Structure 1
Amino acid sequence: MIKINSNLKHFNAHHPVVAMGMFDGVHQGHLALLELLKQKARQMDGESVVLTFWPHPRIVLAQDSGELKLLTTLEEKTRFLAEAGIDHIVVLPFTKELAALTAEAFISQYLLDKIRMKHLIVGYNHRFGHDGIDKNQLQPLSEQYHFTYDIFGPTMVEGVKPSSTVIRKMITDGDVGEASILLGRHYSLKGRIVGGRKLGRKIGYPTANVEIDDPLKLVPHDGVYACRVHLLGRDYGGMINIGERPTIDGSSGQRSLEVHIFDFNSNVYSEEIIVEFIKRTRPEIKFPNLNSLKERLKKDEIEVRNILKETGTPG
């Protein structure tokens, strides 16, 4: 059974083999590294340990933190790491004091004294410590402190190096289908259903207004998407509109997420909902009137249902 730790005071693992980083998205590149981590742990008769940090260092260090959006919440990240079969997850609170440590001090005080690491796996482009050491500067430290290490990567997925930065750009641009290839799953948002103006009911397309749980979670580009909806323990197909609803609200500047769930007609206010993005079908459009919007939504529904059928999604 996986153990999740935020305090290393009583941490205990057998011959720990460690990988560390933010692991935002827990994407295909991360998953390939985690496979090496598990393999190495088995070879050394040890246990796999992922050391990650929260909050994100850019928030703590105020490095463009206002623009930072994440692929995974802390809950999602730990869940995906657990599903990857890791023995231990350490979520280390990131502070300015921690950021001030040199790589050597961090290795000595945390990886060796507290975790008692035997082996370290480092991504090919990973840098750490206040001095920002990279893979080429690990050798003298490994000799001095008697640990071994491997450098992992880069790995390729359909000709692309998976990275959190690349995937964020894809989702920001609305390319959720491309992002899903690098993630190894569909990108998703979790939130609560909140009350709206109920105008969707008047045109035959009632929607659930979704309020996102975490303000740091990246929301895809405005537009209409085919989606899978997890609600009340079941999966449904649906289509979601992200944007300012210009036909109804004009240019309000207020973004909303409204999902029409196919073959569903229940009052679900305050319920938790998860939306998985399958494909963006069109940008958000301002229509001259509600009838024009209704006619377009009929076409959207046909297109989205076909996409869901092609991808084996309910709906």
Structure 2
Amino acid sequence: MQIHPSIETYSGPPPVLTMGTFDGVHPGHHALLRELVRLAKALNTVSVVLTFWPHPRLVLGHDPEKLRLLNTLEEKTRILSETGIDHLVVLPFTTELAQLSASEFTTHILAEQLRTRHLLVGFNHRFGKDGVRSEELDALATRLGFGLSRYQPVEVDGQRPSSTRIRQLLLAGRVPEANALLGYAYSITGRVVGGQQLGRRISFPTANLQVNERAKLLPPDGVYACRVRITGKTFGGMVNIGVKPTVNTQMDHRSVEVHILDFGEDIYSEEISLEFLHKTREEMKFEGLEALKAQLRKDETEIRKLLQRHGLPT
């Protein structure tokens, strides 16, 4: 897959194209992209995904503090690279772009600049300042001379996967259900930074994570079983998200820290990824460090059992 940071860097043949934010790149997206690749081969041309960054809501100010992304641009690019598409074009989303009507966007960007041969859209896809109804898009395709087809939704265990629904499940702590709709384990990536070193004093050293993307969704406060990816290796881990109420009086500060099982290396400043598998309990406040340590032992026993179910050696 070739990556283009702007429309101007794409110089391939007139493509079969689809577009969207693709946050999460869930099974519904994958089904659409398989059809995109099939159509491109049938028409003897290339497949192009046009996506937008930053997320339009962050630019337009539509409750940006409430928006939480399932994927960073780097994560989305990595997942899309595994789908078989030929080109990914990242269109910088600006307030000027947001002012384009659907007709202007289709004419100037899809037809004139990308020379789209065939447009594939999801069944409920809307775009442009004014949105575009189905019959209006049909008329635009006819006038501008490109093919048009729509892809119907898919279901996973009787549910239609959607980025909104996946966010709702994650924010409710229902991690296995969210992962089922995602098609993979939800993850966050960040760099290990210095902490309070409390974990070492109670024999549960933790790596404190500085998450790379400010708008990235963090699961709710609590304790989680996770897979930890470090420099190509995989370990089990127990993650705490929250304000650490036993030792931290700054209640407006959320932290992400992971105790990596059977691991003793210094990974300060390393980048690691956490893949969430289960939420095991809510964050709790303890009478003191001994009570905290006793609970952590219980957490470790439970989390090791959960990790075994996911094929991780413990």
Return the TM-score normalized by structure 2: 0.97
**Aligned equivalents of 1:162, 1:207: Cα separation in 2:** 34
Task: After TM superposition, give the deviation of residue 14 of structure 1 in Å.
Answer: 2.8
Secondary structure of the 2:125 match is: coil
Task: After TM superposition, give the deviation of residue 10 of structure 1 in Å.
Answer: 4.2
Q: How does 1:1-315 map to 2 (within 5 A)?
A: 2-250=1-249, 252-315=251-314
Task: After TM superposition, give the deviation of residue 140 of structure 1 in Å.
Answer: 1.1
CA contact (8 A) 1:6 1:92 kept: yes
Secondary structure of the 1:41 match is: helix
Unmatched runs of 5 consecutive residues or more in structure 1 = none
**C-alpha offsets along residues 221-275 of structure 1, whole Å, 9 cap, x if unaligned?**
1110000001133110010000011112246221111100000012211111111
Task: After TM superposition, give the deviation of residue 143 of structure 1 in Å.
Answer: 1.3
**C-alpha offsets along residues 1-41 of structure 1, whole Å, 9 cap, x if unaligned?**
x1111222242223400010000111111111101111111
**C-alpha offsets along residues 162-184 of structure 1, whole Å, 9 cap, x if unaligned?**
11111111111111211111111
CA contact (8 A) 1:226 1:308 kept: yes
**Aligned equivalents of 1:209, 1:134: Cα separation in 2:** 48
CA contact (8 A) 1:221 1:242 kept: yes
Secondary structure of the 2:113 match is: coil
**Aligned equivalents of 2:187, 2:56: Cα separation in 1:** 23
Task: After TM superposition, give the deviation of residue 142 of structure 1 in Å.
Answer: 1.4
Secondary structure of the 2:65 match is: helix
Q: Which letter does structure 2 place at the counterpart of 1:223?
A: G
CA contact (8 A) 2:10 2:89 kept: no
Q: Which letter does structure 1 place at the counterpart of 2:187?
A: S
CA contact (8 A) 2:14 2:114 kept: no
**Aligned equivalents of 2:249, 2:190: Cα separation in 1:** 25
**Aligned equivalents of 1:12, 1:202: Cα separation in 2:** 58
**Aligned equivalents of 1:191, 1:128: Cα separation in 2:** 33
Task: After TM superposition, give the deviation of residue 290 of structure 1 in Å.
Answer: 1.2
User: Structure 1 stretches (4+) deviating beyond 3 angstroms?
Assistant: none
Secondary structure of the 1:166 match is: helix
Task: After TM superposition, give the deviation of residue 65 of structure 1 in Å.
Answer: 1.1
**C-alpha offsets along residues 131-168 of structure 1, whole Å, 9 cap, x if unaligned?**
10033421111111111111112111111111111111
Secondary structure of the 2:155 match is: coil
**Aligned equivalents of 1:5, 1:100: Cα separation in 2:** 23
CA distance change for structure 1 residues 134 and 77 in 2, over 3 Å: closer, same or farther?
A: farther
Task: After TM superposition, give the deviation of residue 193 of structure 1 in Å.
Answer: 0.7
- Matched residue pairs, number? 314
CA distance change for structure 1 residues 6 and 232 in 2, over 3 Å: closer, same or farther?
A: closer
**Aligned equivalents of 1:224, 1:167: Cα separation in 2:** 19
Over the aligned positions, Cα root-mean-square deviation in angstroms equals 1.2
Secondary structure of the 2:36 match is: helix
Secondary structure of the 1:189 match is: strand
Secondary structure of the 1:179 match is: helix
**Aligned equivalents of 1:251, 1:11: Cα separation in 2:** 49
In terms of mean alpha carbon deviation, does 128-137 or 95-104 score higher?
128-137
Q: Which letter does structure 1 place at the counterpart of 2:269?
A: S
Q: Which letter does structure 1 place at the counterpart of 2:256?
A: L
**Aligned equivalents of 1:114, 1:230: Cα separation in 2:** 40
CA contact (8 A) 1:229 1:275 kept: yes
CA contact (8 A) 1:16 1:118 kept: yes
**Aligned equivalents of 2:135, 2:235: Cα separation in 1:** 49
Secondary structure of the 1:214 match is: coil
Return the TM-score normalized by structure 1: 0.97
Unmatched runs of 5 consecutive residues or more in structure 2 = none
